[in-house]
Amino acid sequence: MTESLTFENLESFRAQALNAIEKANTGQKLEKLRINILGRKSSFQSLLSGLSRLSLEQKRAQGPRLNSLRHELEEAIESKRREFSRLTLQIKDDGTNDLTLPGLAAPKGRRHPLSVVGRRILNVFEHLGFRYVEGREIELDENNFTLLNIPEDHPARDLHDTLYIKVPSSGFQVPGPENKTGDVSGSKNFFSNAQLGISRLLLRTHTTPVWVPVMRGAKPPYRVVTMGRVFRSEAVDATHLPGFSQIDAFYVDKSCSMNDLTATLEIWVAELFGPETPVRFRPSYFPFTEPSCEVEIGCFVCLGKGCAACKKTGWIEMLGAGMIHPSVIQRLGHDPDQWRGFAFGLGIERVAMALYGVPDIRFFYENDVEFIRQFPG
C-alpha cells in the first residue's frame, strides 16, 4: 500500500486490505495489520480526518462511504481474531504441556500451634458472651496473691513458685507502708523485698490477677476472658517450663451457681471437643474460689481406654474452676451477699499437647520451622 490513498483508489485499497487480513496467519501479524490499515497514523485515518476540509456535498457523499468501509474492515479483523482464538484451542497437545508440574506461589506461613489452640478456646468463650481483656505480665504481689486470698506464708504459694523482679531503687517511689526511696547513687541499687511488701513486682504466676482491675473498676454483671503468659520458677523438663500460657475467664452476677458453672463448661467442652465428649468434675482447691473443682474430659486420643496422653486414666485434666471466693469479691469492692461469681482457667500448652500428641512442652518454644509447619495453622 505504497501509493497514497484517495477516494478514487478506495476500492482497490479495500480489496487489498481484505486480502491481507484474510492472509494473516498469526495474531501478531493481524494486530500489525490493524494498525497499518486503521491505526492513527494510517492513510485511511488521514483520509478520514481530511474529510472535514471537504465541501458539505462531498462530505455527504464520501462520509458514509468511508464509515461503512471502516466497519467492514473492523469486522473482518474481528472475525479473523475470533478465528485465531478458536484455533488456539484446536492445537493438539503433543505432551510437552505437563500439567502435573508444580504451581508457583509465594509460600504461606503457619500459625504457631499454641496460638491456634488458644484462639479456638477463646473463640468459644467469646461466643458465650465473655469479653476479652488484656492483662499484664509483670504484676504486683498484691494483685497476683494478696487480693486473691493468697497472703504471704500461705501454703498455696508453694504451688506458685514465683519469679520476682528486682526493682531499681533509683528514681522510683514505692507506694506502701514503708515509702522509702532507695539510694540514688547508681543504677545497680535495688529495693529489697521487705521494703516493697505487697508492691513487690513479680512475673504473674497465673492470669487470674486480671480480675483485680476489672472488678475494682466496674460494677457487675460482666463476663470477662483473658489470655497470656504466666511464669513459675520451675525447672525445665518435658512437662514443665518457667513460662507458659493460660486462659482465664470469670462471670459475676446477682445469682450464679456451681450449677451454671458446670453447665457453661459442658457447653465449652462440647464446642471444642465435640458434643459426645464425656466431662467430669472433681473437687479441688484454689485459694480464690470456693467451692473449687477440676474439670476433666474423656481422653480423645484413646476414647477412655487409657493411653499415654491421659496417663492411662482415660481422663484428661482440662480446667480449674469454682465459685469466686466471697472474700475476694469483698476485697475487690463488691458486696459478697449481693454478688456471686464463677471463674475458670486453663493452660493452653496442656490442651495443645493432648490435642496434637506433642510429647514434650519444650518443643513449643524452640520454634523449629519444621515443627511449626506440621500444624494446620
Partner 1 sequence: MKYFLSWVQEFLPGPLPDVDHVVAALEQLGLSVAGLERTQTAFEGVVTAQVENVGNHPNAERLRLATVFDGSHRHQVVCGAVNLAKGQCVALAKIGARLPGEDGKSFVIETRKIRGIESCGMICSARELGLGQDAQGIMVLPQDWVLGRPMQSYIAPDAVIDLELPSNRWDLMSHLGLSRELAIYFWRASSKDHQLSNPVETRQKISISIAENALSACARYEGALLSGIKVGPSSWTVSHRLRALGYPTINNVVDATNYVMLELGQPLHAFDWAKIKGETIQVRWAQTGERLAALNGRSYELGPQDLVIADAERPVALAGIIGGEETKVVETTTDVLIECAWFARSHVRRRSKALGLSTESSQRFERETDVVLLGLAVNRTLEILKETPGVSVRATTSVFPNPPLPVRFELSPDLVSKTLGFSVSNEELFSLLTPLCEETEKFDSGRWLVTPKSWRSDLRLNEDIAEEALRYLGFEKISKHQDDSARIPAITNIPDELQWLEGEQGRSFKELTKARYYGDRLVELFLGDGFDEALNHSMVSGGQIEEICGPQWLANAVQLENPVSADMAFVRPSLSLGLYQNWLRNRRYGKGGTPMFLQELGYVHSWDSSWPSQAPMPGSALHWAAAAWGPFWPLHWKRQEENNFDFWQMTGTLEQSLRRIGAFVSRRKPANPMASWHPHFQIEFCCQGVDIGYVAQIATEESLDHRWDSPLIVAEVNLDRLESLLRGRASVRYAPVPGAELIRRDLSVIIEKSISWGKILKCVQKELGDLLEMAAPLDVYVAPKLGHSKKSVAFRVWLRPPNDAVRVDEINEWLARAGRRLKMDIAAEVRHG
Binders in 328-367 for partner 1, by CB under 8 A:
340, 364-367
Contacts to partner 1 from residues 66-95, by CB under 8 A: none
How many other C-beta atoms can be found within 10 angstroms of the C-beta atom of residue 348? Answer: 24
* Burial of 237 per CB tally in 10 Å (0-12, 13-18, 19+): exposed
Residue 259 makes contact with partner 1 by CB under 8 A: yes
Q: At what angle do helices 10-23 and 56-90 cross, to 10 degrees?
A: 10
Options 39, 50, 64, 129; binder of partner 1; rule CB under 8 A = 129
| Binding characters for partner 1, 285-324, by CB under 8 A (x = yes) | x-x--xxxxx----------------------------x-
Among 14, 45, 168, 270, binds partner 1 (CB under 8 A): 168
- Tell which phi-psi region holds residue 232, choosing left (phi > 0), alpha (psi between -120 and 50) or beta: beta
Binding of partner 1 by 211 (CB under 8 A): no
Residue whose C-alpha is closest to residue 320's, from 291, 342, 346, 289: 346
Q: Does 278 bind partner 1 (CB under 8 A)?
A: no
| Contacting range for partner 1; rule: CB under 8 A; set: 22-30, 46-54, 226-234, 353-361 | 226-234
- Of the chain, the end-to-end C-alpha distance in Å amounts to 66
Give the whole-angstrom CA distance, residue 150 versus residue 140: 13
Closest distance between partner 1 and the C-beta of residue 43, in Å? Answer: 21
Least separation in angstroms between residue 305's CB and partner 1 is: 17
DSSP H or E run through 267:
helix 258-273
Q: Does 47 bind partner 1 (CB under 8 A)?
A: no
Least separation in angstroms between residue 50's CB and partner 1 is 20
Query: Cα angle vertex 31, ends 28, 35, to 5°?
Result: 140
Nearer to partner 1, 74 or 237 (CB): 237
Of 46, 58, 233, 239, the residue at the interface with partner 1 (CB under 8 A) is 233
Look up cell 508444580; give the residue. Answer: 102
Closest CA to 277 of 258, 295, 261: 295
Q: Considering only 31-39, 65-73, 85-93, 251-259, which stretch makes contact with partner 1 by CB under 8 A?
A: 251-259
How far, CA to CA in Å, does 116 sit from each of 110, 136, 295? 9, 21, 22
Shortest Å, Cβ 203 to partner 1? 7
Stretch that binds partner 1, among 9-17, 21-29, 71-79, 261-269 (CB under 8 A): 261-269
Q: Toward partner 1, which CB reaches closer, 43 or 115? A: 115
